[in-house]
Amino acid sequence: MSATMTGALLGAVLAFAGLAFGFWGFLLVLVLMAAGAIVARIASGELDVRELLRVFTGRRSSS
């Protein structure tokens, strides 16, 4: 699936959520979609959680 098609699909889902459930429903769907994307990246090995934690805790060296 191309990036354009993915963006259009996500926009349609968020638009439907906004129309059907109002602002808070829209926000909930947005947060859950982001959480699902993060979990999918972790499961596929594209996101290293340990390295991400090192960045946030400041234990990563610049060299």
**CB contact at 8 A, 18 and 28:** no
Instruction: At 43, list the tokens.
Output: 């499961």
Q: Residue 23, Cα to own-chain centre: how many angstroms?
A: 18
What's the pLDDT score for residue 63?
Answer: 55
pLDDT at 24: 93
**pLDDT score for 51:** 86
pLDDT in the model for residue 3: 86
- Residues 1-50 have pLDDT tens digits of 788 998 899 999 999 999 999 999 999 999 999 999 899 988 988 888 88
In angstroms, the CA 7 to CA 13 distance is 10
User: What would you measure as the largest C-alpha separation in the chain, in angstroms?
Assistant: 50
Separation of alpha carbons 17 and 27, rounded Å: 9
Q: Which two tokens stand for residue 42?
A: 């972790």
Q: For residue 56, what pLDDT is reported? A: 84
Q: For the whole prediction, is pTM greater than 0.75?
A: no
